[in-house]
């Protein structure tokens, strides 16, 4: 897929930076990237547009490309009858969002590859996802048949095309705004959290963890909301379900047992067989989940998962200048998962006889395999059981498995690697900065703090233009105006980093970018935020999004950011706007909690009323380290070095603070503050926590 030079001369996509577009640079299709040149030609020649949307690690995108876009005959039909536009959904989520809504309206589902046929003025008249070249299977129409019929209809039955596009547009306009927010707006109260948490738990899979059957996604935002509901309610079953789910995922094939990191989803209910691509955003969100679980349980296995995931990102997903790459493909050497799976024979050849049986039993390795004759490693036993079976101590078994895993990892490193999508997206980098900040909080490992700071430096150097952000960077080029997600995820990352490393420039940047969002994305009438800025390229509709699914929505993240910024600054406008966003989404969030995990976390923070904790360090940071290690999701925190205090005293949160000893803490809740605290024991008492981690 990545080298098609043998197919002839390159097309226009060869000038692009998107890995997905470059995968199609040698197709015989006369592709355009989305832009004025293609749209103008469609208008001038009154030709329909074929819009193909996908992303670089999408398996069925590769299949359709190989079957149809690399085929000379199919390309000829496309080139003669259509203006063909290829879009990377990760670069242009605005375009993807619009036409995914169309696909949902037409078929009840969506996904990638997305195949949309548009009039010359960008209005959709026919839509689908993957089309096989020839329609022989599953009752699906063949792509060449669809192309031929639609091109003939566009010429001979234009009135039918116009009618279809008008029907789509009428429906699309209805969904383009607050599609998730029907009916009366709610007040923000505890009952919203109660209804949502109970509803979410009822959707849980009590056998394997997670939500739903197959395919099964991690849904980290929902799990983190349930941890917050446990915090506010004290009801253990909410916490226990999250621990159960997290342990099942960490033990499953969705988790790369050797190299760390999680695949995008499991194709089965048991978390065994992943779709092997690894996305940056999943690993960012799951790091945060496991860090919070470690804060609650103090179980080493959760900390191990945090470390393995972050180490994977440092090792394999980090640009030399500090930004984070987007994804790794599922495929290598043309086969999905080939890089990750093992035969028992291979393992026997690598490991010595004293460890091979223990390793294979621990990871469920058999001669027959569990995936197309090979083995996906997944935890099938315990150190305790294996110690009893093989007459060893648990520590010896653990060491044996660790050493064997290291040998297999070393052997795997010599294999041909899956492709990597090396574009750097501001939004996903924001999520990963949060992941590293929270990883640093629970481990104290300065490498993770440095990774977060390097990513901030990268964004400020490569993806920032004053108050504005840019969406994507690759091959030395920064491109495209940033979307709401870019601003809000990055601001969230800055705030998470500020809470554990309270440098004035981090808070100043968070305020600057959030002010830009309120100026250029805000809809005063609805009290919510558009996905694009007011000076963005004009598309057929200007959409909003509220759903927190694989990644949070920009509106949900904005509500949380504004609430946190209010506490640092006492700027009432931030609080008012946060409340308006949360109020707009509260009723659907209570009734359909599966799609609103991040929004529910923001509502939790508002309902519980944040506790404000400031620690000023002179010559010790023991209290700061202790604070980082506890689960305090309702806290707005800062650990400030005395040298930064003067500059931070411009913000209300820090006014009047001073270090009275080696380390001094201040706790405020319900608009009332404690006296200065100089002992960890007293800080713990004020926060209702045990004085030392259990």
Q: Are residues 488 and 520 in the same domain?
A: yes
> Does a cis peptide bond (omega within 30 degrees of 0) precede residue 113?
yes
Encode pLDDT of 602-635 as tens digits: 999 999 999 999 999 988 889 999 999 999 999 9
Do 167 and 205 fall into the same domain?
no
Beta bridge partners of 83: 49
Looking at the fold, whether 553 and 632 belong to one and the same domain comes out as no
Task: Tell me, yes or no, if the pTM score tops 0.75.
Answer: yes
Does residue 181 fall inside a structural domain?
no
- Please report the pLDDT score of residue 184 as a whole number: 54
Helix axes 446-462, 300-316, angle to 10 degrees: 40
Mean pLDDT over each residue of the chain, to the nearest integer = 94
Q: In the chain, how many domains are there?
A: 4
Q: Is the pLDDT of residue 179 over 70?
A: no
In sign, the C-alpha dihedral spanning 342, 348, 349, 354 is positive
- Look at residues 414, 442, 471 and tell me which one is the last residue of a structural domain: 414
Residue 693 domain-assigned?
Answer: no
Q: 3-class SS at 386?
A: helix
Shared domain for 199 and 222, answered yes or no, is yes
Per-state percent for the chain, helix, strand, coil, to nearest 5 = 50, 15, 35
Do 71 and 93 fall into the same domain?
yes
Q: For 437, how many CA atoms within 13 A lie in the half-sphere containing its CB?
A: 26
pLDDT in tens, 53-70: 999 878 788 889 999 999
Instruction: Report whether 504 contacts 643 (CB < 8 A).
Output: no
End-to-end CA distance of the chain: 52
Cα dihedral 256, 262, 265, 269, rounded to 10, equals 60
473 half-sphere exposure, CB direction, 13 A CA radius: 24
* 69 neighbors 75 (Cβ within 8 angstroms): yes
Q: Tell me if 435 is assigned to some domain.
A: yes
Q: What is the pLDDT of residue 176?
A: 74
Q: Is 252 exposed, middle or buried (0-12, 13-18, 19+ CB in 10 A)?
A: buried
Q: Are residues 465 and 550 in the same domain?
A: yes
Which CATH number characterizes residue 12's domain? 3.40.30.10
In-domain check, residue 380 = yes
Residue 255 — pLDDT band, cuts 50, 70, 90? very high
- Examine the domain organization and report whether 475 and 522 are in the same domain: yes
> What DSSP string runs through 639-677?
EEEHHHHHHHTTSGGGTT----SSEEEEEEETTEEPPPB
Residue 445 has which token pair?
């490992």
Bridge partners of residue 324, in order along the sequence: 318
Residues 300 and 169 in one domain: no
Domain boundary among 549, 576, 608: 608
In a domain, 329, yes or no: yes
Within a domain: 474: yes
My answer on whether 259 and 318 are in the same domain is yes
At 401, which CATH number? 1.10.10
In this predicted structure, what is the pLDDT of residue 670? 82
Tell whether the model's pLDDT for residue 694 goes beyond 80.
no
> For the chain, what's the residue count?
694
Q: Is residue 183 part of a domain?
A: no
Residue 180 confidence class, pLDDT cut points 50, 70, 90: very low
Same domain, 603 and 632: no
- Residue 3 pLDDT > 90, yes or no? no
Domain boundary residue, one of 560, 583, 608: 608
* Per-residue pLDDT at 185 exceeds 70: no
CATH number at residue 234: 1.50.10.10
Q: Is the dihedral of CA 415, 420, 422, 427 positive or negative?
A: negative
- At 597-608, the pLDDT tens digits run 999 999 999 999
Integer Cα distance of 352 and 639 in angstroms: 49
Domain, as residue range, for 278: 190-333+421-608
- pLDDT single digits (tens) 508-547: 999 999 999 999 999 999 999 999 999 999 999 999 999 9
pLDDT of residue 2: 43
Q: Say if 23 falls within a structural domain.
A: yes
Domain match, 515 and 454 both: yes
Which residue matches tokens 């045990």? Answer: 690
Instruction: Report d(CA 430, CA 487) in Å as an integer.
Output: 8
Helix (H) or strand (E) holding 293: helix 280-297
Asked if residue 182 has pLDDT above 60, the reply is no
At 136 the pLDDT is 67
Contacts 24+ apart (CB under 8 A), 685-689: 687/611, 687/613, 687/630, 687/632, 687/635, 689/630, 689/632
- Rounded to an integer, the average pLDDT of 443-468 is 97
pLDDT tens-digit profile of 297-338? 999 999 999 999 999 999 999 999 999 999 999 888 989 999
Q: Does residue 407 share a domain with residue 359?
A: yes
177 — pLDDT class (breaks 50, 70, 90): low
* Order of strands across the sheet that contains 663-669: 635-641, 611-617, 663-669, 672-673
Percentage of the chain beyond pLDDT 70 is 97
């Amino acid at each position: 897929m990545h080298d098609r030079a043998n197919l002839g001369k390159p097309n226009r996509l060869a000038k692009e930076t998107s890995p997905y577009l470059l995968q199609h640079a040698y197709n015989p299709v006369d592709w355009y990237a989305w832009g004025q040149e293609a749209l103008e030609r469609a208008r001038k020649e009154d030709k329909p547009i074929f819009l193909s949307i996908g992303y670089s690690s999408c398996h069925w995108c590769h299949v359709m490309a190989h079957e149809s876009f690399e085929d000379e005959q199919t390309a000829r039909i496309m080139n003669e009858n259509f203006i063909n536009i290829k879009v990377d959904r990760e670069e242009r989520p605005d375009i993807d969002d619009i036409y995914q809504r169309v696909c949902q309206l037409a078929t009840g589902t969506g996904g990638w590859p997305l195949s949309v046929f548009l009039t010359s003025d960008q209005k959709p008249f026919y839509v689908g996802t993957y089309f096989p070249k020839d329609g022989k299977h599953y009752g699906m129409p063949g792509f060449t048949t669809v192309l031929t019929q639609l091109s003939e209809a566009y010429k001979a039955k234009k009135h039918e095309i116009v009618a279809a596009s008008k029907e789509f547009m009428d429906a699309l306009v209805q969904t383009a705004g607050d599609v998730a927010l029907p009916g009366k707006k709610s007040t923000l109260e505890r009952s919203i959290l109660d209804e949502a948490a109970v509803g979410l738990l009822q959707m849980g899979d009590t056998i394997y963890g997670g939500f739903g059957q197959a395919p099964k996604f991690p849904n980290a935002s929902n799990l983190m909301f349930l941890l917050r509901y446990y915090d506010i309610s004290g009801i253990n079953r909410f916490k226990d379900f999250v621990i159960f789910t997290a342990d099942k995922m960490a033990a499953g094939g969705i988790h790369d047992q050797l190299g760390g990191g999680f695949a995008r989803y499991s194709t089965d209910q048991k978390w065994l067989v992943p779709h092997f691509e690894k996305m940056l955003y999943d690993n960012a969100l799951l790091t945060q989940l496991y860090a919070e679980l470690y804060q609650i349980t103090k179980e080493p296995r959760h900390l191990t998962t945090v470390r393995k995931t972050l180490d994977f990102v440092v090792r394999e997903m980090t640009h030399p200048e500090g930004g984070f790459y987007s994804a790794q493909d599922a495929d290598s050497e043309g086969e999905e998962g080939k890089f990750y799976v093992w035969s028992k024979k291979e393992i026997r050849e690598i490991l010595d006889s004293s460890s091979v049986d223990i390793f294979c039993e621990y990871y469920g390795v058999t001669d027959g395999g569990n995936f197309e004759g090979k083995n996906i490693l997944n935890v099938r036993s315990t150190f305790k059981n294996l110690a009893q079976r093989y007459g060893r101590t648990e520590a010896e078994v653990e060491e044996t498995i660790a050493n064997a895993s290291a040998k297999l990892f070393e052997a795997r490193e010599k294999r041909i690697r899956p492709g990597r999508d090396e574009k750097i997206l501001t939004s996903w980098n924001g999520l990963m900065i949060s992941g590293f900040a929270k990883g640093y909080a629970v481990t104290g490992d300065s490498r993770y703090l440095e990774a977060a700071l390097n990513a901030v430096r990268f964004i400020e150097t490569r993806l920032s233009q004053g108050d504005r952000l840019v969406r994507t960077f690759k091959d030395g080029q920064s491109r495209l105006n940033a979307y709401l997600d870019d601003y809000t995820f990055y601001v969230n990352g800055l705030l998470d980093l500020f809470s554990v490393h309270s440098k004035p420039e981090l808070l100043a940047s968070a305020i600057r970018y959030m002010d830009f969002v309120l100026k250029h994305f805000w809809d005063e009438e609805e009290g919510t935020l558009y996905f694009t800025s007011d000076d963005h390229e004009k598309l057929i509709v200007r959409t909003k999004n509220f759903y927190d699914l694989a990644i949070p929505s920009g509106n949900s993240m904005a509500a949380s950011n504004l609430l946190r910024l209010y506490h640092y600054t006492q700027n009432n406008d931030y609080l008012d706007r946060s409340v308006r966003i949360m109020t707009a989404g509260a009723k659907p969030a209570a009734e359909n909690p599966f799609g609103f995990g991040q929004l529910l976390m923001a509502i939790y923070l508002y309902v519980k009323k944040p506790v404000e904790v400031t620690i000023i360090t002179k010559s010790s940071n023991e209290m700061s380290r202790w604070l980082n290690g506890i689960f305090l999701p309702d806290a707005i925190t800062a650990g400030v070095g005395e040298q930064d205090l003067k500059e931070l005293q411009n913000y209300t949160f820090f006014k009047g603070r001073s270090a009275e000893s080696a380390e001094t803490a201040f706790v405020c809740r319900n608009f009332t503050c404690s006296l200065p605290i100089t002992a960890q024991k007293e800080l713990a008492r004020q926060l209702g926590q045990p004085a030392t981690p259990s």
